[in-house]
Amino acid sequence: MAEVWITGIGLVTALGCDRETTWSRLLRGESGVAPLRLFDTTGYRTHLAAQVDDSCLTLPSVAAAALRHASRTSRLGIAAAAEALTDAGLPIQAGVKHPWGVVFGGGSAGLFEAEEFLRRRLRHGHRTRALNEFLEVPQDASTDRVAEAFSLAGPRVTVTTACSSSTVAVGLAAEMVAHGETEVALAGGADGLCRLTFAGFNSLRAVDAEPAKPFDRRRKGLNLGEGAAVLILESAERARARGARPYARVLGYGVTADAFHMTQPDASGAAWERTVRAALADAGVTPDQVDYINAHGTATEQNDPAEVAAYVRVFAEHLARIAVSSVKGALGHCLCGAGGIEAAITALAVARAMVPPTAGFAEPDPACPVDAVPGAGRPWPIRVALSSSFAFGGNSAALVLGKVA
Amino acid sequence: MNGDVYVRAVGVVTAAGTGIPALASALARADWQATLSLERPDAPPLPVAVCRDFSTQGHLPPMVARRLDRPARLLAVAAREALGTVGEPFPWPRDEVGVTAGTANAGTEALVEVLKAVFLASPEEAPPMQFPSTVANAPASQLAILEKFGGPNLTFAEKQAGGLRAVVEAGRLLGRRRAAAVLACGVDEAQWLNAEAYHRLRFTRRSASGPGAILGEGAAVLLLSSSPGDAPLARLAGWGAAAVPTATHLYPSSGEPLARAIMLALEHSGAATRDVDLLLSLHSGAPRLARLETEALASALGQRRPAAMAVTDRLGEGAFSSALRALVAVLALGGAPIAWPPPPHLATLGFPGLSHPPRTALVTALAGGGSAVAAVLTAP
């Protein structure tokens, strides 16, 4: 089984159209959460979200044909993939099919555009025009779009496990590379804001009308976000041979279900604990080797203590010296794209020995006894890091990344 | 593949009825056809193979059924049939039982209902109880909650190939020892907006008897484990997947990715083309798909002409249908009498109908967007 390296990262978030802008603003403790401009929020509990600037969606380096009728989510994915491929030094040659796989977490896909179609369809009947707005409804549409944009002919998988989708996707992609199913995989995911998720999370009263405060005793809920991340995964042998620079190694992943409730986590964190233990076992590392946890940290009342309860049990006395931060205070909860974005942030943290802060966190909650990295990022040597996600349906997943020796 | 993967049990709900006996009965009748009709709110019905008589009565307690949306009900009933045949005590710790599901449209009905409230009433009217059902992983998650299965719970979206993807990913989970057993599932609901979109794209039949594909609904469940148990039904011997860049709503321009997936599956399973004695055709009635399959088989199987049969052109297309093909292959490997003939495009090429129990079955799927999956199942 081959060692798997992350050799390229592309990021598009509310903090920036690219990896370095996102990373530097994240370290400064800035937040991309602001009044939502994408659609009218009259009547909702919150008017805030972490929206990507529209300028990030104009992609001069990508052929116009590949973007024709592309949804907002697909454009996010294509932008992140373009940056990741360039970063990895894998140029895309026109007219050449590349045998690389795409493993993405899929969620809202083209739903934002389809909502417009549906609105008209509900009012005007079955002859409603502009069916093209409906074509990217399948959750794998953005995966297809990325493959089409860059002529990728390797295996293509779309995981759709809600908020853990792209965490699983990175783990699965690493497994496929490790076992030689594909020499290179573009792994991650994209998710765009839309009315469905905005209305849904509002109706569940899971949102905060103010900027979210993960792990903070004042937390009241999450802010939704959007974005995309693509990680280029390849074997260490292949990367070395072509002189590629690694960010981190993918050591393993774990995935379980809590079989408890569709929207609420088991407060004991028991299933989350099983996930983390499974991930560490898969990676072949022990709790004392972990230096950083990029937490799910949604800032909902139920999520944060359940998550921390799992860490307390798994890491015991070691937790006191582990930095635990959530980027959702800065980037919003990007749902099916969140895990990929957080994996990318975690890989950057490992490579640069810096941990990002938890934007919004200021007042510790006794129910969440972790070093949540308030304020700004801090230098932090990392041997092993964990990136953790939890999803509707009780699905949790955790990735283990390590420093390349 | 890391270790063996066995099919221990199966369960199903289709337009042929609820349960394996109903499906087997339909398969034994050459003339069986589904009644095709799906109502729309403000337009003529569309030809869809709906599970018309489906009921949870006798399968799920009413209080449980009431909490579930239709895809979750279809899946739960099919899963209960599979689980009911493995006997007591339950052979695996429930925390080590996973679920993999492929779906093309689970969540669409809930999505329409939530957005209808937002658009036609107001955002405050968005129903919180229905929002969780809008996620595609709701049926698999509901199943895990219902049965207290704490293993990996993964849903895959790969349009028509989603169900077979779920089967092969279950094999991967077992091979990597991430689970002791996995319910590999395909599930779809008949949903008017989804059917209307396919209809307007001219993918589906314009009338009940015309050319073109039909959509369907149902759930197919294969219970897989790495231990054979006393009476395994089949063995998942290997699989392969390939893709070609294609617009997400179109089939690829050639059968090449399907051929590649078949060849990878044969290689992975250690089977030669001469070993294949049953092909579960992916024929849905769509002429373009028939052309692509013909092209792929010529490339992957050469002159080999195994027995062939199609089920998707009668029970309907969807992600569930590719899992259903794997399930029907398992029934055939077990000697179930099957009278459904090869699809016309394969019969013309000399592919015969099934006349005796096969030993090795090839199951394939090809999705819009250009992704292909193939699996080889063998008699235990």
Threshold 0.90, pTM exceeds? yes
Residue environment code for A226-241, b if the CB has 16+ CB neighbours within 10 A, otherwise e: bbbbbbbbbbbebbee
- Using 50 as the pLDDT threshold, list the residues of chain B that sit under it: 1
| A-interface mutation test, from B113, B159, B248, B373, most A Cβ less than 10 A away | B248
A196: nearest CB among B134, B142, B193: B134
For residue B202, the model assigns a pLDDT of 87
Query: Both A231 and A286 in a single domain?
Result: no
A247 within some domain: no
CB contact, 8 Å: A264 with chain B? no
> How far from the centroid of its chain's Cα atoms is residue A2's Cα?
25
Q: Taking Cα atoms as reference points, which of B5, B3, B7, B11 lies closest to residue B220? A: B11
Query: Both A56 and A119 in a single domain?
Result: yes
A204: nearest CB among B94, B128, B135: B128
Neighbours of B147 (CB within 10 A): 18
A246 within some domain: no
> Of A188, A209, A241, which closes a domain?
A241
Query: Both A212 and A302 in a single domain?
Result: no
CB B185, CB B166: distance < 8 Å: yes
CB contact, 8 Å: A257 with chain B? yes
Question: A381 burial class (0-12, 13-18, 19+ CB within 10 angstroms)?
Answer: exposed
Confidence label for A66 from pLDDT (cuts 50, 70 and 90)? confident
| Torsion sign over Cα A52, A53, A58, A59 | negative
The whole-chain average pLDDT of chain A stands at 95
Residue of A nearest to B153 (CA): A257
Q: Is B243 in contact with A152 (Cβ distance < 8 A)?
A: yes
A346 within some domain: yes
Strands (E), A192-330: 227-235, 248-257, 290-294, 323-325
For residue A392, the model assigns a pLDDT of 85
Q: Is A162 in contact with B135 (Cβ distance < 8 A)?
A: yes
Alpha helices in A125-193 (DSSP H): 141-149, 165-178
CB B59, CB B51: distance < 8 Å: no
* Beta bridge partners of residue B344, listed in sequence order: none
Which residues from A are below 8 Å from B148, CB to CB? 259
Query: Both A236 and A310 in a single domain?
Result: no
B371: nearest CB among A156, A160, A271: A156
CB contact, 8 Å: A184 with chain B? no
Q: Is B201 in contact with A131 (Cβ distance < 8 A)?
A: yes
Residue of A nearest to B256 (CA): A153
Rounded mean pLDDT, A389-403: 94
**Total number of domains constituting chain A:** 2
Query: Both A272 and A218 in a single domain?
Result: no
Q: Is A159 in contact with B246 (Cβ distance < 8 A)?
A: no
For A279-309, the pLDDT digits (tens) are 999 999 999 999 999 999 999 999 999 999 9
CB A354, CB A380: distance < 8 Å: yes
Cβ-Cβ contacts under 8 Å for A103 (sequence gap 6 or more): A155, A156, A157, A158, A159, A169, A170, A172, A173, A176, A185, A186, A187
| Helix (H) or strand (E) segment spanning residue B99 | strand B97-102
Q: Which residue has the tokens 């025009």?
A: A129
For residue A263, the model assigns a pLDDT of 87
Residue-range domain boundaries for chain B = 6-225, 236-378
Cα A92 to Cα A83, A126, B113, B263, distances in angstroms: 11, 41, 42, 27
A99 within some domain: yes
A140: nearest CB among B120, B126, B159: B159
Q: Is A255 in contact with B145 (Cβ distance < 8 A)?
A: no
**How far apart (Å, rounded) are the C-alpha atoms in residues A373 and A132?**
45
Neighbours of B125 (CB within 10 A): 15
Residue of A nearest to B117 (CA): A199
Options 1.10.10.10, 3.20.20.70, 3.40.47.10, 3.40.50.1860; CATH of B236-378 = 3.40.47.10
For A113-151, the pLDDT digits (tens) are 999 999 999 888 887 777 888 889 999 999 999 999 999
Q: Which residue has the tokens 């609904």?
A: B217
DSSP β-ladder status, A384-391 and A290-294: parallel
From B162's Cα to the closest Cα of chain A, the distance in A is 9
Question: A352 burial class (0-12, 13-18, 19+ CB within 10 angstroms)?
Answer: middle
From B353's Cα to the closest Cα of chain A, the distance in A is 32
A336 counts as catalytic: no
Which residues from B are below 8 Å from A140, CB to CB? 157-159, 248, 367, 369, 371
Which residues from A are below 8 Å from B114, CB to CB? 196, 199-200, 203
For A241-263, the pLDDT digits (tens) are 999 999 999 999 999 999 988 88
For residue B213, the model assigns a pLDDT of 94
A395: nearest CB among B119, B132, B137: B137
DSSP tag of B3: S
Query: Both A237 and A298 in a single domain?
Result: no
B119: nearest CB among A119, A151, A258: A119
| B-interface mutation test, from A1, A150, A262, A390, most B Cβ less than 10 A away | A262
User: How wide is the angle at C-alpha B66 spanned by C-alphas A119 and B11, nearest 5°?
Assistant: 100
**How far apart (Å, rounded) are the C-alpha atoms in residues A125 and A359?**
46
CB A192, CB A213: distance < 8 Å: no
* Beta bridge partners of residue B221, listed in sequence order: B11, B185
A274 within some domain: yes
| Helix (H) or strand (E) segment spanning residue B375 | strand B371-378
Question: A404 burial class (0-12, 13-18, 19+ CB within 10 angstroms)?
Answer: middle
DSSP β-ladder status, A101-105 and A156-159: parallel
From B337's Cα to the closest Cα of chain A, the distance in A is 35
Point out the catalytic residue in the list A17, A56, A163, A336: A163
Q: Taking Cα atoms as reference points, which of A337, A341, A273, A334 lies closest to residue A298? A: A334
Residue of B nearest to A198 (CA): B123
Q: At what angle are helices B108-120 and A111-124 packed, to 10 degrees?
A: 70
Residue of A nearest to B147 (CA): A259
For A83-92, the pLDDT digits (tens) are 999 999 998 8
Fold match between domain B6-225 and domain B236-378? yes
> Which residue range forms the structural domain that includes residue A316?
252-402
A 137-176 → B contacts, CB under 8 A = 137-141, 143-145, 147-148, 150-162, 168, 172, 175
A204: nearest CB among B131, B196, B368: B131
Half-sphere exposure of B22 (CA within 13 A, CB side): 18
CB contact, 8 Å: A310 with chain B? no
Query: Both A219 and A273 in a single domain?
Result: no
Q: Is B244 in contact with A200 (Cβ distance < 8 A)?
A: no
Which residues from B are below 8 Å from A153, CB to CB? 242-245, 257
Point out the catalytic residue in the list A17, A98, A296, A368: A296
Q: Is B123 in contact with A155 (Cβ distance < 8 A)?
A: no
A52 within some domain: yes
DSSP states along A219-238: ---B-BB-EEEEEEEEEHHH
**How far apart (Å, rounded) are the C-alpha atoms in residues B349 and A359?**
65
Residue of A nearest to B99 (CA): A257
> Of A222, A241, A260, which closes a domain?
A241
A 83-102 → B contacts, CB under 8 A = 97, 102
DSSP β-ladder status, B278-281 and B181-188: unpaired
Query: Both A82 and A159 in a single domain?
Result: yes
CB pairs under 8 A between A and B: 216
Q: Is A144 in contact with B370 (Cβ distance < 8 A)?
A: yes
Query: Both A108 and A216 in a single domain?
Result: yes
For residue A236, the model assigns a pLDDT of 98
Measured in degrees and rounded to the nearest 5, phi and psi for residue A168 equal -60, -40
Fold of B6-225: Peroxisomal Thiolase; Chain A, domain 1 (3.40.47)
For residue B284, the model assigns a pLDDT of 96
**ipTM of model over 0.95:** yes
Which residues from B are below 8 Å from A204, CB to CB? 128, 131
CB contact, 8 Å: A69 with chain B? no
Rounded mean pLDDT, A227-241: 98
From B44's Cα to the closest Cα of chain A, the distance in A is 10
Measured in degrees and rounded to the nearest 5, phi and psi for residue B200 equal -70, -25
CB contact, 8 Å: A250 with chain B? no
Rg over CA atoms, chain B: 19
Domain harbouring A265, CATH code? 3.40.47.10
CB B318, CB B215: distance < 8 Å: yes
A296 counts as catalytic: yes
For residue B2, the model assigns a pLDDT of 54
Measured in degrees and rounded to the nearest 5, phi and psi for residue A25 equal -70, -35
A189 within some domain: yes
CB contact, 8 Å: A261 with chain B? yes
A56 counts as catalytic: no
Here the tokens at position A282 are: 């898969």
Q: Is B95 in contact with A203 (Cβ distance < 8 A)?
A: no
For A177-207, the pLDDT digits (tens) are 999 999 999 999 999 999 999 999 999 999 9
Rounded mean pLDDT, A357-373: 98
| A-interface mutation test, from B154, B191, B264, B366, most A Cβ less than 10 A away | B154
The answer to whether the peptide bond before residue B89 is cis (omega within 30 degrees of 0) is yes
Query: Both A195 and A332 in a single domain?
Result: no
Which residues from A are below 8 Å from B118, CB to CB? 195-196, 199
B153: nearest CB among A106, A131, A161: A161
A393: nearest CB among B114, B122, B141: B141
At position A67, the amino acid (one-letter code) is: L
A113 within some domain: yes
Point out the catalytic residue in the list A56, A333, A334, A336: A333
> Of A241, A263, A287, which closes a domain?
A241
Confidence label for A171 from pLDDT (cuts 50, 70 and 90)? very high
For residue B207, the model assigns a pLDDT of 75
